[in-house]
Amino acid sequence: MDRPAILVARAVFPETLARLAQHFDVDASADDRVLAPAELAERLRGKAGAFTTGSERIDAALLGACPQLRAVANMAVGYNNFDLAACTAHGVLATNTPDVLTETTADFGFALMMAAARRMAESERFLRRGEWRRWSYDMFTGSDVHGATLGLLGMGRIGQAIARRGALGFGMQVIYHNRSRLPVEREAPLGARYVDKATLLREADHLVLVLPYTAASHHAIGAAELAAMKPSATLTNVARGGVVDDAALAAALRERRIAAAALDVFEGEPQVQAALLDVSNVVLTPHIASATVATRRAMAELAATNLIAALGGERPPNLLNPEVLGRAAG
């Protein structure tokens, strides 16, 4: 019996490829470049599955051109590269890789927040330029993290992990806004307080964004929200590009309407808003919050597990559109 054919759209760990090759005929993009839409569609023709990394747009046009496609597995917790409604309409199972990157991403988000608060990147650039000549009482004075108010916009797995670090490790007061309030048994250990968005913006000393990107969350932080924050506050985004209006943020930073920001994600990445590159009070990293060897291996293995299950007639562990299975059963 012929084995299903799949496309692995980007380079991945050799052991993950070897595991996939035990189940499928694998077309692997070893050169690790992002495939243009037309090339992606061409490579996917006749394929039953795709192993994607968030760079590949799976939409109605592509699905219409690839009628044999049955499953797409993202090596990412986010899936805004998938048109989920189109996947469902075409009967294509879609999966992601939650949970395995929660703690690693929370570590990185907290580190970014601290770097912004204590002006680490700004002061390092100063030192590297050879401008450090003497000590002064106000040289790169930032803001404390311990005992400060940590605000979280979004309170899923990663948000709760960041809250735990702040409350239990740094004695921070935790406030949050989310689509729905957490059960009291999750709030209580953190001393977390649910507030409306206006209160969150007004009271947070350090605001961290950990909400999913959707049409509703596009520019959830824009000029009006930045104006509502404390001038001494910091903003950290480890959620998704598009949640923040990057141009508005650059203007707020340049005019010191907030103290600092730290960003791991950007609108239109890998392109970065040019104005952000010109302000000193921002920490910029290239979407690496999950970038530890152990975590990236776990993500790759989970994506492989999802794809093997989906094309093997089993329910994938991290299925995003279970209604496809329900439709097939009916």
Q: Which helix (H) or strand (E) holds 149?
A: strand 149-153
Catalytic residue flag (residue 240): yes
Given the residues 157, 287, 297, 301, the one annotated as active site: 287
Q: What is the CB neighbour count within 10 angstroms for residue 250?
A: 20
Catalytic residue flag (residue 39): no
DSSP letter at 221 equals B
- CB environment 164-181: b (16+ within 10 A), e (fewer): bbbbeeeebbbbbbbeee
What percent of the residues of the chain are helix, what percent strand, and what percent coil, each to the nearest 5? 40, 15, 45
Q: What is the 3-state secondary structure (H, E, C) of 53-116?
A: CCCCCECHHHHHHCCCCCEEEECCCCCCCECHHHHHHCCCEEECCCCCCHHHHHHHHHHHHHHH
Given the residues 240, 255, 323, 327, the one annotated as active site: 240
- Closest C-alpha among 51, 55, 63 to residue 4: 51
Q: What is the CB neighbour count within 10 angstroms for residue 90?
A: 18
- Provide CB contacts within 8 A for 35, sequence distance 6+: 9, 29, 43, 56
CA atoms within 13 A on the CB side of 176: 31
Catalytic residue flag (residue 256): no
Phi-psi region of 242 (alpha: psi -120 to 50; beta: other; left: phi over 0): left
Given the residues 181, 269, 297, 301, the one annotated as active site: 269
Q: In sequence order, which ranges of 129-228 are alpha helices (DSSP H)?
A: 157-164, 170, 184-187, 197-203, 223-228
- Write out the catalytic residue numbers: 240, 269, 287
